[in-house]
């Protein structure tokens, strides 16, 4: 066993030590001797019990008192197992840039093995359609977090309105967005793959669109059984979600049908908003940063095997505060998306392969 990584060990008062600062798990140990306080505050997060025992021996702490201290630490859930070595489990090497992710997840996970959690992401793949400021933010965060394959699609060119902190550079203006995005994503993660092996599909598609979600694009993802996260950039807001798992959650058509119930002309409006020929406006800086990071976090939740907030819901981020507000939807009774047949794997692979390169993402 070891002290849970990522938790600070802090002196509070004579005989009292605080472990961790997050209200979800921070604890105080009181009634300690000066020697016990020294043993704890001199330890580093992740220190093994054996190292703690050796420190206690050096400080002259009695064995029975050390055993009582260990029991208190265990009852406070401050101790967790020592993880297996990556070489023994066959896991991928942890990216140095993802060390912060591993440390934070060590505090969150029951087993405290944030490194294994992050290493597992190397086997996951995400396709991102739409590489403006927001889409590039999603791609960079996912790559930096250890996702092994980040596929990029956008037919446009970089414009001056796309420039931003950590994103496209002035020299990129006029070049294909996909080309510039490849370089930036590899700067965040040198070993990330930006091209999928032949006849494979991503675990998740992130569809960044302007005005409204394109019904045709979502129908194709539904038919192919591909989970997809809708991100819609509007005039002064961004809607992140829903994340659609075909046959298991409300789909984008459900959302449109609920809107049509409230506005009988919504079908006419959405057809114009989703039109391919419609000019796409620039993406506001703070909305792109906040919504892009939220979209990446929700994508990671899905890829990590957790239930994201936007499964059957959306996070609406609006100016001026850019504070997310949750909106929820249920399956619309007129949609029938739960009964939509999913294309067999063989047919799906053939269709994806025939699309050619990144175009197969959508």
Looking at domain 124-361, its CATH architecture is 3-Layer(aba) Sandwich (3.40)
Domain boundaries, the chain: 2-80, 86-119, 124-361
Arithmetic mean of pLDDT over the chain: 87
- Report the alpha-carbon distance of residue 347 to residue 203 in Å, rounded: 17
Shortest CA distance to 147 belongs to which of 194, 104, 206?
Answer: 194
pLDDT above 70 covers a percentage of the chain that reads 88
- pLDDT higher than threshold 60 for residue 289: yes
- Report the alpha-carbon distance of residue 42 to residue 319 in Å, rounded: 46
- Report the 10 Å Cβ neighbour count for 45: 18
Give the pLDDT score at 286.
94
**How would DSSP label each residue in 103-168?**
HHHHHHSTT--HHHHHHGGGG-EEEEE--SHHHHHHHHHHHHTT-SEEEEE--SB--GGGB-TTSB
Lowest-pLDDT range of 58-62, 236-240, 300-304, 348-352: 348-352
Q: Give CA separation, 248 vs 84, 200, 217, 230, in Å.
A: 35, 22, 18, 16
Q: How do residues 3-59 score in pLDDT, each as one tens digit?
A: 998 899 999 999 999 999 999 889 999 999 999 999 999 999 889 999 999 999 999
Q: What is the mean pLDDT of residues 89-97?
A: 58
Residue, of 128 and 98, whose pLDDT is higher: 128
Q: What is the mean pLDDT of residues 158-177?
A: 94
- pLDDT higher than threshold 90 for residue 155: yes
- pLDDT higher than threshold 80 for residue 198: no
- Per-residue tokens: 46: 């992740």
CB 45 within 8 A of CB 16: no
CATH, range 2-80: 3.90.930
- Report the alpha-carbon distance of residue 295 to residue 301 in Å, rounded: 10
- pLDDT higher than threshold 70 for residue 353: no
Q: What is the mean pLDDT of residues 108-132?
A: 92
- What angle, 0 to 180 degrees and rounded to 10, lies between the N-to-C axes of helices 133-144 and 177-188? 30
Preceding amide of 320 cis, omega within 30: yes
CB 195 within 8 A of CB 152: no
Length of the chain: 362
* Dihedral pair phi/psi, residue 162, rounded to 5°: -85, -10
């Amino acid at each position: 066993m070891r002290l849970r990584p990522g938790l600070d060990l802090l002196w509070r008062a004579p005989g009292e030590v605080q472990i961790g600062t997050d209200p979800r798990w921070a604890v105080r140990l009181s009634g300690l001797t000066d020697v016990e306080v020294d043993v704890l505050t001199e330890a580093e997060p992740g220190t093994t019990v054996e190292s703690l025992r050796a420190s206690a021996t050096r400080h002259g702490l009695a064995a029975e008192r050390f055993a009582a201290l260990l029991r208190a630490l265990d009852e406070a859930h401050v101790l967790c197992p020592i993880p297996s070595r990556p070489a023994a489990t066959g896991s991928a090497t942890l990216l140095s840039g993802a060390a912060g992710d591993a440390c934070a997840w060590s505090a969150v996970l029951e087993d405290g093995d944030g490194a294994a959690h992050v290493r597992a992401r190397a086997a996951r793949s995400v396709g991102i359609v739409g590489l403006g400021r927001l889409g590039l933010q999603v791609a960079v965060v996912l790559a930096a977090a250890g996702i092994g394959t980040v596929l990029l699609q956008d037919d446009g060119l970089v414009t001056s309105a796309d420039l931003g902190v950590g994103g496209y550079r002035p020299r990129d203006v006029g070049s294909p967005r996909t080309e510039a995005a490849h370089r930036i994503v590899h700067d965040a993660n040198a070993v990330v793959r930006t091209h999928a092996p032949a006849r494979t599909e991503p675990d998740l598609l992130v569809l960044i669109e302007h005005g409204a979600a394109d019904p045709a694009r979502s129908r194709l993802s539904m038919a192919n059984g591909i989970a997809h996260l809708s991100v819609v950039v509007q005039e002064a807001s961004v809607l992140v979600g829903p994340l659609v798992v075909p046959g298991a959650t409300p789909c984008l058509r459900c959302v449109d049908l609920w809107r049509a119930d409230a506005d009988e002309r919504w079908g006419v409006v959405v057809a114009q908003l989703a039109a391919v020929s419609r000019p796409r406006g620039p993406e506001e800086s703070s909305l792109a940063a906040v919504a892009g990071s939220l979209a990446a976090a929700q994508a990671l939740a899905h890829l990590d095997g957790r239930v994201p907030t936007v499964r059957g819901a959306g996070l609406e981020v609006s100016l001026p505060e850019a504070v997310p507000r949750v909106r929820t939807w249920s399956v619309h009774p007129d949609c029938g998306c739960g009964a939509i047949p999913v294309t067999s794997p063989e047919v799906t692979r053939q269709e994806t392969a025939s699309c050619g390169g990144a175009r197969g993402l959508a």
